[in-house]
Amino acid sequence: MKKTKRIISFTMAVLFFALPALASQPKYVFYFIGDGLGASQRQFSEFFVREKNHNPAQQLLMNRFEVAGLNTTYAADTLITDSAAAGTALASGVKTNKGVIGKDPSGKDVKTLIEAAEDRGIATGIITTTRLTHATPAAFASHNISRNNENEIAEDFLTSNVDFFAGGGIRHFIPKGMVEKNADAVGKTIKSKRKDDKNLVKGFEKKGYKTFIGMKGARDFNTTEFSGLDKVFAAFTYTHMPYEIERTSIYKEVPSLSRMTRAAIDVLSKDPEGFFLMVEGGRIDHAAHANDPTGVIHDTIAFDRALEEAYDFYQKHREETLIVVVGDHETGGMGLGMDSMGYKLDMSCLMDTKVSVEDTLAYGKGQYKGDKEAYLAFLRENFGLSDLNETEKSGLAKAMASADAGETAGYYKVNPAALTAAHILSNRANINWTTTIHTATMIPMSATGKGAERFSGYKDNTQIAQAMAGLLDFNL
């Protein structure tokens, strides 16, 4: 009898101390990751919004959260990380080598926050503006020695039990030989990158997912009532989704990051156990790789608008919701200010840009292909580069001659005329880029909601995931 009483007393004590801890846990978690989103990218985008809206006090939502901090980003084998190692650190709290997804440096699988949430019966979602199988989203629901094994990563997604997927990169989910001309959401041909006959889209459908594929899927997505769905797989584009600057002006039927976030909330919030949702603004990084100032700005603003959807939900569930905003690394070495223009930034010169550097000037319809006058006319009409001064004309002439000779520029070997145009526009605004790759610069973090105070201060990126796991009582 005494033994029974001791057991009852012990159980009651455990419950007494555990209940307050459980009560302090958020039920709904939003994990926003801006790929390449450093302090300069955040601040410069805010300056642009102020200039555009003639409101010198306006702030991005991410810059208004009451909890803030700084995060280091280095990988296990290099001080300048890539998105695979950084994504793994943010997803699992473990340092790994550059290029590795969801594994430690020895090759052992590490548990992710998404997987821990699923172990607890919590609904999960992954959203990105890149290919779904790209490094950051992959790090949350896959384990692979190389980020380049995107076909294998796609198979991991099928068995991951994540409830909501939305992004680009349909090419890794369809069987070899499959071709549909002009069928993706930006009018490109859908074709497979797989080497086998596996149709993963059909696999998702067999598991009860409502699928949204290509242009038809994009149109249906924009008119669907998601509160009636339990599982969603959406892949709108052959590769990455379009840059926001072109999505809003050219590809208007492509769902925005905020629309995808709203849909995910409608699906996941029905789960009585709550949800864990990772949202990536992936093309901020790509724009910075191309040293594209307006590409960075518009995708950062789109990321902030998606954050507004989460914040609206938080306003209705203030005692149950946590929002954390981080970056995986800085890209481009973006500096705000150069000697040439002194103590000022000129945002006005960025207002007339209509296209991206990478998708249009480097590889799209605005690419320089030998016709100098046509290229200069395109820049005047679409990239805001009118009234070129002699230095700018000379720089473009040299770049076009370099392109004519078959030369490339930057780490990723882009068309030199495109990169030069990006630098001219940047110089006019008084922006300087030190590189076309990543840097080791610390990343700003901001948070609000239940348990947000745990994320403040100076932390390594692994400590963000560890703090989240501790708050949620997850076993990583």
The helix (run of H) or strand (run of E) holding residue 125 is strand 123-131
Q: Are residues 81 and 187 in the same domain?
A: yes
CB contact at 8 A, 358 and 289 = yes
> Strands 190-191 and 179-180: what pairing?
antiparallel
Total tally of structural domains belonging to the chain: 2
What are 290's two structure tokens? Answer: 């191309």
Rounded-to-10 torsion of CA 306, 446, 288, 426: 100
* Cα–Cα dist 19/329, whole Å: 37
Q: Are residues 356 and 322 in the same domain?
A: no
Task: Give the number of other Cβ atoms within 10 Å of residue 15's Cβ.
Answer: 10
Q: Are residues 367 and 308 in the same domain?
A: no
Q: Quick one: pLDDT at residue 19?
A: 41
Domain CATH for 292: 3.40.720.10
* Residues comprising the chain, all counted: 476
Q: Quick one: pLDDT at residue 23?
A: 56
Q: Three-state SS for 140?
A: helix
Q: Quick one: pLDDT at residue 51?
A: 96
Q: Are residues 401 and 285 in the same domain?
A: no
CB contact at 8 A, 74 and 441 = no
Q: What is the reported pTM?
A: 0.94
CB contact at 8 A, 246 and 359 = yes
Q: Quick one: pLDDT at residue 230?
A: 97
* Cα–Cα dist 315/30, whole Å: 13
Q: Are residues 390 and 448 in the same domain?
A: no
Q: Are residues 240 and 359 in the same domain?
A: no
Nearest by Cα to 244 from 331, 304, 310: 304
Rounded-to-10 torsion of CA 386, 390, 396, 397: 130
Each residue's pLDDT, cut to its tens digit, for the chain (476 residues) gives 444 444 444 444 444 444 444 557 999 999 999 999 999 999 999 999 999 999 999 999 999 999 999 999 999 999 999 999 999 999 999 999 999 999 999 999 999 999 999 999 999 999 999 999 999 999 999 999 999 999 999 999 999 999 999 999 999 999 999 999 999 999 999 999 999 999 999 999 999 999 999 999 999 999 999 999 999 999 999 999 999 999 999 999 999 999 999 999 999 999 999 999 999 999 999 999 999 999 999 999 999 999 999 999 999 999 999 999 999 999 999 999 999 888 999 999 999 999 999 999 999 999 999 999 999 999 999 999 999 999 999 999 999 999 999 999 999 999 999 999 999 999 999 999 999 999 999 999 999 999 999 999 999 999 999 999 999 999 99
CB contact at 8 A, 29 and 468 = yes
Q: Are residues 313 and 379 in the same domain?
A: no
Q: Are residues 150 and 185 in the same domain?
A: yes
Look up the domain containing 446 and give its range. 26-334+439-472
Burial class (CB in 10 A: 0-12, 13-18, 19+), 377: exposed
